[in-house]
Homo-oligomer: A and B are copies of this chain.
């Protein structure tokens, strides 16, 4: 069994989540394990002793350059409980303000703004393949954005 420190992931809304077809941010990055570019929401591992919410705030800033006035906990998922204790704490961010990204320049990561309805289409068509991303968007859309 593989021990993992856990992670936080964030569905970042760049317009009012309760508005008509709000917009969210998606990262597109090359994943060697998947051997392809994947759409993903911002996410990263907890530092030792770090609170999941603090990690969510930090990862959102590092990966998108944004700070959020609102960071709501959605739920905690086990990625694959048959062989690891990895759990991802999912959050939804709103009231974003743009800033500078903190991570190193990385040619393999781009940031896209898409509407929630388009993101749902990407899930339906199998083009969003990352579990935390599809699950975070479906959860936020179904239970928080009134879709």
Contact = CB atoms under 8 A, between A and B. Distances in A.
Nearest to A1: B33
Interface of A: 1-2, 31-35, 38, 40, 75-88, 120, 123-124, 126, 129-132, 134-135, 138-139, 142-143
Contacts of A80: 79-80, 84, 86, 131-132
A84 B34 CA distance: 8
A139 B135 CA distance: 9
Please tell me how many copies of the chain the complex holds. 2
B78 A131 contact: yes
A130 B81 CA distance: 7
A13 to B, nearest CB: 18
A139 B139 CA distance: 10
Contact of A78 (B38, B77, B78, B88): B38
A126 B79 contact: no
Nearest to A75: B126
Contacts of A135: 131, 134-135, 138
A35 B88 CA distance: 16
8 contacts: A31-B81, A35-B85, A40-B81, A75-B126, A77-B129, A80-B86, A80-B132, A123-B139
